[in-house]
């Protein structure tokens, strides 16, 4: 597959701070790339530089094999952008909003009408064409925002947190729509803080922190990077601190937490971890409601690589 985006040695400084530090990566045709990172990691800055919305200090950015710049309109017309902040016109209906944004690129009225109907169907807004944005729920508004960004059938789409603060039904609709866009040949760069979405959607993942790539690969490749082999969750009511400290000292235990009556234990690579734990609980006459084991999730990997401290 050919590269749709090539970023080479990209650096962006704010005064004496490097928001992006010698960053290089590519996005291949037809893939959904998850661009992840904690707040302040450089995700938004990277995307804004790629789109020529922000000047950068050094590096090369090529899209569709051509150098990207502010005047590269032949490239920009093939790109769709859906930012986290909803950006639609309150005085226009759903249909009129999509028509306006599609009309920036598609001048043929017959083709534009076809594209608008396709976008409306993709996001499930058939029953809301004549509604104004203020009449829409949060989930419907997000779906309108997506329709406006992709109605002109772009070959490359940037989706920045498209499912923030929406209900599960709207989220499923949005994720299904993104899968359909990819199946129709679009290349997608996807940012989110919902790791389960990344596991569902993305062919490949890049994790940024402090302007650098700290890991990249498929979901399964990233999970191999973690030192944790097993995550065990035990439902126990009112567990005494003494037992938590005892469990922390057991073989292969990496970390232990206890919140909302859920004891969560991360084990390093080893065997029979859950068996040893059950034997300990039985010996101490600790009654538990449920116990289950799972392999580390992408969220576990993300926290291990970027740390658990709060970010601004």
User: Would strands 253-259 and 79-82 be described as parallel, antiparallel, or unpaired?
Assistant: unpaired
What's the rounded Cα separation, in Å, for the pair 100 and 121? 17
Residues 149-158 pLDDT 10s: 999 999 999 9
Find out whether 49 and 42 touch, Cβ atoms under 8 Å: no
3-223, CATH topology level: Rossmann fold (3.40.50)
Find out whether 298 and 205 touch, Cβ atoms under 8 Å: yes
228-295, CATH topology level: Alpha-Beta Plaits (3.30.70)
Residues of the chain with pLDDT under 50: none
What's the rounded Cα separation, in Å, for the pair 248 and 85? 43
Residue 130, both tokens = 């004549």
CA-to-CA dists, residue 228 to 160, 199, 268, 293, 298, angstroms: 30, 18, 5, 12, 12
Find out whether 34 and 204 touch, Cβ atoms under 8 Å: yes
Q: Supply the pLDDT for residue 312.
A: 61
Q: Supply the pLDDT for residue 77.
A: 95
Q: Supply the pLDDT for residue 264.
A: 95
Across the beta sheet with 262-268, the strand order is: 253-259, 262-268, 228-235, 290-294
Q: Supply the pLDDT for residue 227.
A: 84
User: What residues are paired with 160 via a beta bridge?
Assistant: 191
The alpha carbon torsion through 60, 62, 67, 69 (nearest 10 deg) reads -80
Residue 287, both tokens = 């009654």
Residues 40-55 pLDDT 10s: 899 999 999 999 999 9
Cα angle 266, 271, 274; round to 5 = 55
Domain parsing of the chain, residue ranges: 3-223, 228-295
Residue 35, both tokens = 């661009």
Asked, colleague to colleague, whether 3-223 and 228-295 share their fold, the answer is no
Find out whether 255 and 303 touch, Cβ atoms under 8 Å: no
Residue 311, both tokens = 């970010």
């Amino acid at each position: 597959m050919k590269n749709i985006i090539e970023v080479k040695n990209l650096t962006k400084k704010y005064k004496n701070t490097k928001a992006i530090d010698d960053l290089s990566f590519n996005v291949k045709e037809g893939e959904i790339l998850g661009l992840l990172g904690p707040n302040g990691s450089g995700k938004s800055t990277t995307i804004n530089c790629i789109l020529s919305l922000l000047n950068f200090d050094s590096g090369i950015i090529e899209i569709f094999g051509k150098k990207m710049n502010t005047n590269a309109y032949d490239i920009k017309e093939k790109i769709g952008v859906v930012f986290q902040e909803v950006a639609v016109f309150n005085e226009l209906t759903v249909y009129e909003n999509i028509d306006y944004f599609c009309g920036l690129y598609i001048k043929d009225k017959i083709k534009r009408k076809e594209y608008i109907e396709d976008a409306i169907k993709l996001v499930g807004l058939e029953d809301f064409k004549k509604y104004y944005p203020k009449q829409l729920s949060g989930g419907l508004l997000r779906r309108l925002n997506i329709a406006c960004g992709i109605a002109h059938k772009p070959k490359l789409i940037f989706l920045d947190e498209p499912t923030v603060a929406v209900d599960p039904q709207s989220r499923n609709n949005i994720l299904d729509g993104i899968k359909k866009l990819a199946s129709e040949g679009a290349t997608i760069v996807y940012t989110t803080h919902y790791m389960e979405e990344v596991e569902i959607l993305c062919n490949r993942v890049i994790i940024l922190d402090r302007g650098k790539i700290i890991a990249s690969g498929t979901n399964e490749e990233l999970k191999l990077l973690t030192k944790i082999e097993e995550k065990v969750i035990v439902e126990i009511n009112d567990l005494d601190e003494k037992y938590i400290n005892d469990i922390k000292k057991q073989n292969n235990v990496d970390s232990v937490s206890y919140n909302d009556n859920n004891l969560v234990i991360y084990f390093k690579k080893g065997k029979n971890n859950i068996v040893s734990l059950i034997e300990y609980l039985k010996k101490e006459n600790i009654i538990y409601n449920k116990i289950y084991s799972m392999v580390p999730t992408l969220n576990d990997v993300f926290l291990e690589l970027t740390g658990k401290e709060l970010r601004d």
